[in-house]
């Protein structure tokens, strides 16, 4: 298929991931809406703690 796994966070975030997936799938399949339109741009998707850690200027929260 050409898919590669990515780090999605620890199990403490699993509930958030499941809820987000359910919302996106319901919008996409049930409403035929563009679910990607409500998602933040990839640069902001991980949150401010991730951005600071990548730039080396902050502490991972």
The model's pTM is: 0.52
Among 14-18, 29-33, 46-50, where is mean pLDDT lowest?
46-50
Taking alpha carbons only, the member of 20, 22, 25, 1 closest to residue 9 is 20
Confidence of residue 50 (pLDDT cuts 50, 70, 90): low
Q: How far is CA 32 from the centre of its chain?
A: 20
Q: Where do the domains of the chain lie? A: 12-55
The answer to whether the beta carbons of residues 27 and 33 sit under 8 Å apart is yes
User: Mean pLDDT over all residues of the chain?
Assistant: 76
Provide the token pair at 59. 């502490």
Mean pLDDT of 26-53: 77
Tens of pLDDT, residue by residue over 22-38, are 999 999 999 999 988 88
Q: Please give the Cα distance from 22 to 26 (Å, whole number).
A: 6
């Amino acid at each position: 298929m050409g898919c590669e796994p990515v780090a999605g966070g620890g199990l403490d975030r699993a509930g958030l991931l499941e809820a987000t997936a359910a919302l996106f799938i319901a919008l996409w399949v049930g409403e035929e809406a563009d679910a990607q339109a409500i998602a933040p741009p990839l640069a902001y998707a991980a949150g401010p703690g991730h951005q600071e850690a990548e730039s080396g200027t902050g502490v991972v929260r």
